[in-house]
Amino acid sequence: MSSEAEREWTAPEGSWASSAARRRNMQAIRSRDTKPELLIRRLVHAQGLRYRIAARPLPNLRRTADMVFRPSKVAVFIDGCYWHGCPEHYVPPKTNSGYWSEKVVRNMERDRDTDQRLSEAGWLVLRFWEHEAAGACSKAVCDAVQLRRQRARDLQDSAGSPASSG
């Protein structure tokens, strides 16, 4: 589309994009492999932990976590400040504000629902904002995974010990 045509183009009523340029911008936003995700993943990987990326923690739940540690049942989400309504950095949009504000509210509701469903299934959910320090986030992830691994080993040891077979 030429730049002249872009200026003349207007979004149909009820459209999600307010202009062709806005539509291209919104489509270019990554849903995975963002800079904060890549940095946190790199730091966690450097600690020797392995994980699945952009994976469904529960097969019947159509939602993906940014990092999934299946045996430990830890799901990690690195949430974008705009898309997930960060209390510190979210700024309501000036154009098509009704649509985008409702979308962010729906995202936040879905996040809470995801947290609840995973928790009920025995998963630990870790959520971080994209603006949080990657070092602190990766340490929290590593600590949580290692703690859950240790608890699982302790349970196995106590289940297999002669004292528990009483």
- pLDDT tens column, 88-106: 998 888 888 888 889 999 9
Q: What is the model's pLDDT at position 121?
A: 98
- Bridge partners of 69? 74
- E strand or H helix at 141, and its extent? helix 134-160
- Maximal CA-CA distance, the chain: 83
Strand positions, DSSP E, the chain? 52-55, 65-69, 74-79, 124-129
- Using CA atoms, how far apart are residues 144 and 153, in angstroms rounded to an integer? 14
Assigned CATH class of 28-156: alpha beta
User: Which among 43, 28, 29 has a CA at the least distance from the CA of 76?
Assistant: 43
pTM exceeds cut of 0.95: no
| Tokens describing residue 11 | 């979004």
The model's confidence at residue 47, banded by pLDDT at 50, 70 and 90, is very high
